Chains A and B, each alone.
Chain A
Amino acid sequence: MAGEPPRFPFAGWGADVLRVYWIAVLIVVAVVVHVSFVLFAPAYRFSLYAKEMAGEHGSNQFFIVDSDQQARLFPNLPRQSVVGACLYDVSAGDVAFNADLPEGFWVTTIYTLRGKPIYSVNNRQSGADAFTVSLSRAPGFIEMLLQATDKERPEIDSGWTVMSPEPMGLAIVWYPLVDAAMRQSIAQAMERSRCLAGNSAVGQ
C-alpha cells in the first residue's frame, strides 16, 4: 500500500529458513573465495615478484639473480651458489634459451609462472655445457584437434623443445660453488647464456 516503508525481501520467511539460507550463502561464498584464492592469488603475487626480479632486463633476457633474491627463490640452497634466470614469454612466439655454462655441476630447470617445473636437466644428463632449449606455448584443446586432422604438421625444431602450458615462466640455472671466491668468475661465464625471442634465434 502507498506510504508503507519497503519490506525486507525475505520478511515473510521463518527465522529458521532464513538462517539456513544465509548459512548456505556463507558456504557458497567461502567455496568461491577458497577456489579463487587457490587458483589466482599466489600465482599473481609470484608473477609480480618474478617481474620485479627481472627488473630492467624484462622478459626474454638472461640475467644473474642477485644473492638476496636467490635466497628468497631457493632458501635451502647456499647463497654462494650462482643462479641465472630468464623470464620467458612465449605468448608472441617461440623463445630460444641458449645456455652456455662453465664446466662443472649445474642444474637447469624450466618453470611455469605458477611455479610448476616442466623440464629439468643437469650437466651429466646434458652431456654438454652449451645447449639450446626451444620454448613454445603448448597448444590448447581445440588447436590439438585441428592439428590432429591437419595433414600439414608444423615442423619440429631439432634440439630440445619444451612446451609450456602457460605463456610466461622462468628458466633457471643453478650452479653451486665449492668456494665463494669463484662466484664472480662463474657469474661472468654464465652471462654468455642468452634468451632470445623468435624462431630465427633457434640453433644459434
Chain B
Amino acid sequence: MRNYTSGFLYVAGGILVGAITAYIAANNAGQEALAEGSPWKSRVAALDKAAGIYVQDYYLMAGRLPLAPGQFLEASAAEDSDGNTLSASCSYDVISAGSLPQWWSVAATASGSASSKIQTVIDENTAVREADGSVRIVVSAVPQPGNWLKIASGRAVILHYAAVPFGSRGGRAPPFSIRRVGC
C-alpha cells in the first residue's frame, strides 16, 4: 500500500511540476530590453522565435491578444529608470524625451500578470502637454493634477506602453523615462 501511495505522489508531483513550470515560463518568457539602460521590455519580438508559443500563452491566459507587431510597439516596465522595482507605495514621474510617435499610450496595472486590470490609460489624444511640448505623467495612488495614472495602493506596479510609430517618429524604445518622486 505504501509503495502505491508513493507512486501516486510521484505522479502527482510530476503533474504539479509540469503545470507550474508551464505557468512560470508563459509569464516570464520572451521579454527583451528595448534599449540599453531602458526599463522598458517587450515580448513582441519573441512572437516569431522559439519562445513565441509561451508569449502567445501569456496573452491567451488572460483573454488578451498581442498588438500586431507590424503596426504597434508594445512594452512594459517593472522598474524605474534607476533600476528600482516600481511600487504602489511610491509616486513616479513618467516624462517624455524627444519626439513622440503619432499615437501612443501609457497605462498601469497592479501586478505583472496579463490578467491584471488596467487602472487608467493616458494616450496621445487625452494627454496634456507641457509648455515645451513634452508629456509628464504622474503615477500615484493619490490624485494628482494634470496627467495622472491611478494605481492601487499596496501592490506591485507595471507600466505598459503602446505606440503606432509612423515613419521615423518615436524610434523603437518608449521615449519615456520613469523617475521615483517619493514614497
Which residues of A are in contact with B by a Cβ distance under 8 Å? 8, 10-11, 18, 22-23, 25-34, 36-39, 41-43, 45-46, 49, 71-79, 105, 107, 109, 111, 114-117, 120, 122, 124, 170, 172, 176-179
Contact = CB atoms under 8 A, between A and B. Distances in A.
B125 A176 contact: yes
B15 to A, nearest CB: 5
Interface of B: 3-4, 6-7, 10-11, 13-15, 17-19, 21-23, 25-26, 47, 52-54, 56-57, 59-72, 74, 102-103, 105, 107, 109, 116-118, 121, 123, 125-126, 160-162, 164, 166
A107 B73 CA distance: 13
26 contacts: A11-B3, A22-B10, A25-B7, A25-B11, A25-B14, A26-B11, A30-B17, A30-B18, A33-B17, A34-B19, A38-B25, A42-B61, A46-B60, A49-B63, A72-B64, A76-B161, A76-B162, A107-B68, A109-B67, A111-B65, A115-B64, A115-B65, A115-B66, A117-B65, A120-B68, A124-B166
Which 7 residue pairs across A and B have the least CB separation, nearest first? A33-B18, A29-B14, A120-B68, A42-B60, A30-B18, A37-B22, A34-B18
B66 A117 contact: yes
Contacts of A74: 64-65, 67
A163 B163 CA distance: 27
A116 B125 contact: no
A22 B118 contact: no
Contacts of A72: 62-64
Contacts of B26: 38, 42
A27 to B, nearest CB: 7
A109 B74 CA distance: 15
Given A26-B14, A30-B14, A34-B19, 13 more contacts: A33-B14, A33-B17, A38-B26, A41-B57, A74-B65, A75-B64, A75-B117, A76-B161, A105-B164, A107-B72, A117-B68, A176-B123, A176-B125
Contacts of B74: 76
Contact of A25 (B10, B21, B69, B105): B10
B125 A78 contact: yes
B18 A109 contact: no
A8 B4 contact: yes
A72 B114 CA distance: 9
A166 B89 CA distance: 45
A190 B160 CA distance: 28
A120 B70 contact: yes
B3 A10 contact: yes
Nearest to B14: A29
Given A26-B10, A45-B61, A8 B3 contact: yes
A74 B71 CA distance: 14
Nearest to A114: B56
A43 B60 contact: yes
